[in-house]
C-alpha cells in the first residue's frame, strides 16, 4: 500500500487535519480584536513551551528569520562565540559574522562538544554565546543548560536556537539562564512553515543594536506586543494554523508530548541498532542524542537514490538525506510534531523492506514496537 505524502523529515512535518482546516478560514483584519485574541493565545502558549515568563515575538518568516532577528537585534557586543557542530551551528556563525566579530568554535559533526573549548573562547573576550540546542543535521542534542551556565560565568548574553526542540523536548529558558531563544513553526510545534517566534528576557535589551534590519528589528515587535499586534502585516492563515497547533499541544499536555517525541526517536535508534545499521551521531552520553530526529549511516552498497528515491516512489514516504559533506552518506528520520507511532512503524518497515533488497540490514521491527508500546 502506498502512503500519500507522509513526511518523516525534521521539518516541515506532517500536518494534523485540524491544522489544515484551520488555515481554510476566511481572512480577518489583522488590526482587529479577533486577531489580537488569536495572537494572545499563541503568545501565552509559546511562553509555556519556551519555559519563560518573558516576551515572545512572532515573526512572519522562517526559523532563519528568527535567528537573524535575534542575533542582529542583540549584536551590540564586541565578539560573539558561536558553537558549530553541525550545519545549523555553522549558520549561526555566518549570521553573527555579518553584525559583529564572531569566534566560531568548531567541532566534528556528530560528536559531543567540548565545554572547555567553548569556555576558552568566552574567556578571550566574547560578550555573547550562540548555540543550537538540537542539531538536526547530525541528530545531536547539545547541553543547553551547561552552555548557559558557562556563559553566565563570563556575564555573556546567551542566544539559543531552539528551532527543533521547543515543543518537542524539554526547554526551560528562564531556569537555564537563556536570554534569547528561537523556534520555527514547522518543526515540533507541528504547524506549517512560515512563522518564527523569538523569546526575549529583559537582560537582552542591554545588548540592543538599533542598526539591525528594519523588518527583523525586535524593538518594533516589542512596541506592538502589549496590544497583541505585529508591527507589519502578519501571515494571517499561519496564525490560524499556529493557534490550532498550540491547542493540540495543550490537549496532549507538554509532558506527554515530550515523552512521545523521546520514545519515537528511541524506537528509531533501537530499530537501527537491531537492524545492524550504524547511527551517525556518536555522543559521549546517550542523553546527547536528539529526541526529534535520528541520523543513520547509509549502508555500504546502497545509494541515496536507492533508498530515499525508492522510498518516495514506492511508498510515498519522505525521509531526509545528509547535508553538506554528509550528502549521500547518511539518511535522517524525523520524529517530531504530529508524527505518531503508526507513522514511525510504517516508515521503518518501508525502509527495512528496501534495505533488505540489498542485504543491507536485518529484520528488526521488534525492538521499535517494544519501545512504542509505552505510548
Q: Is residue 197 part of a domain?
A: yes
Residue reference for cell 517525541: 261
pLDDT tens across 79-123, in order? 999 999 999 999 999 999 999 999 999 999 999 999 999 999 999
Q: What pLDDT is attached to residue 284?
A: 86
In this prediction, residue 2 carries a pLDDT of 45
Predicted confidence (pLDDT) per residue in 56-87, tens digit: 999 999 999 999 999 999 999 999 999 999 99
pLDDT of residue 3: 46
Query: Residue 238 has which C-alpha cell?
Result: 499561519
Q: Determine the pLDDT at residue 256.
A: 98
Contact indicator for 333, 294 with CB cutoff of 8 Å: yes
Are 307 and 351 found together in one domain?
Answer: yes
Q: Are residues 63 and 103 in the same domain?
A: yes
Q: Which three cell numbers stand for residue 218?
A: 525586535
Cβ atoms of residues 193 and 163 within 8 Å: no
> What mean pLDDT is reported for the chain?
97
Q: Are residues 238 and 338 in the same domain?
A: no
Name the nearest CA neighbour of 218 among 197, 247, 188, 240. Answer: 197
Using the predicted structure, report yes or no on whether residue 23 has a pLDDT greater than 60.
Answer: yes
- The Cβ of residue 143 has, within 10 Å, a number of other Cβ atoms equal to 18
Range of the domain at 362: 6-13+253-372
pLDDT of residue 286: 87
pLDDT of residue 243: 98
For residue 338, the surrounding DSSP H or E stretch is: none
Q: Are residues 203 and 285 in the same domain?
A: no
Q: Do 143 and 47 fall into the same domain?
A: yes
Residue range 317-326, pLDDT digits in tens: 999 999 999 9
Q: What is the pLDDT of residue 4?
A: 63
The CATH number of the domain holding residue 338 is: 3.90.1150.10
Amino acid at each position: 500500500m502506498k502512503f500519500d505524502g507522509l513526511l518523516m523529515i525534521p521539518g516541515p512535518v506532517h500536518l494534523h487535519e485540524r491544522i489544515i482546516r484551520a488555515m481554510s478560514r476566511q481572512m480577518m483584519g489583522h488590526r482587529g480584536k479577533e486577531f489580537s485574541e488569536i495572537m494572545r493565545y499563541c503568545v501565552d502558549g509559546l511562553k509555556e513551551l519556551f519555559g519563560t515568563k518573558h516576551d515572545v515575538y512572532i515573526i512572519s518568516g522562517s526559523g532563519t528569520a528568527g535567528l537573524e532577528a535575534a542575533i542582529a537585534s542583540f549584536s551590540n557586543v564586541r565578539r560573539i562565540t558561536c558553537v558549530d557542530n553541525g550545519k545549523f551551528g555553522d549558520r549561526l556563525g555566518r549570521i553573527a559574522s555579518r553584525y559583529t566579530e564572531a569566534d566560531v568554535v568548531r567541532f566534528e559533526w556528530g560528536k559531543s562538544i567540548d565545554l572547555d573549548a567553548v569556555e576558552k573562547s568566552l574567556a578571550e573576550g566574547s560578550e555573547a554565546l550562540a548555540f543550537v540546542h538540537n542539531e538536526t543535521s547530525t541528530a545531536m542534542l547539545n547541553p543547553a543548560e551547561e552552555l548557559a551556565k558557562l556563559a553566565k560565568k563570563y556575564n555573556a548574553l546567551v542566544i539559543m536556537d531552539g528551532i527543533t526542540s521547543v515543543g518537542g523536548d524539554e526547554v526551560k529558558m528562564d531556569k537555564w539562564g537563556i536570554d534569547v531563544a528561537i523556534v520555527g513553526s514547522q518543526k515540533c510545534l507541528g504547524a506549517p512553515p512560515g512563522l518564527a517566534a523569538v523569546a526575549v528576557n529583559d537582560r537582552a535589551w542591554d545588548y540592543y543594536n538599533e542598526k539591525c534590519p528594519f523588518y527583523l528589528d525586535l524593538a518594533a515587535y516589542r512596541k506592538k506586543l502589549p496590544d497583541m499586534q505585529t508591527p507589519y502585516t502578519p501571515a494571517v492563515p499561519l496564525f490560524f494554523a499556529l493557534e490550532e497547533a498550540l491547542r493540540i499541544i495543550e490537549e496532549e499536555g507538554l509532558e506527554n508530548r515530550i515523552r512521545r517525541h523521546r520514545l519515537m526517536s528511541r524506537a528509531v535508534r533501537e530499530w537501527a541498532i537491531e537492524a545492524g545499521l550504524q547511527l551517525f551521531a556518536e555522543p559521549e552520553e546517550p542523553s546527547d542524542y536528539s529526541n526529534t530526529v535520528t541520523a543513520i549511516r547509509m549502508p555500504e552498497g546502497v545509494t541515496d537514490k536507492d533508498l530515499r528515491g525508492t522510498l518516495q516512489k514506492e511508498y510515498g514516504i519522505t525521509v531526509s538525506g545528509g547535508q553538506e559533506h554528509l550528502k549521500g552518506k547518511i539518511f535522517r528520520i524525523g520524529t517530531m510534531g504530529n508524527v505518531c507511532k503508526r507513522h514511525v512503524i510504517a516508515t521503518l518497515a518501508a525502509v527495512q523492506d528496501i534495505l533488505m533488497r540489498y542485504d543491507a540490514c536485518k529484520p528488526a521491527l521488534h525492538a521499535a514496537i517494544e519501545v512504542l508500546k509505552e505510548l
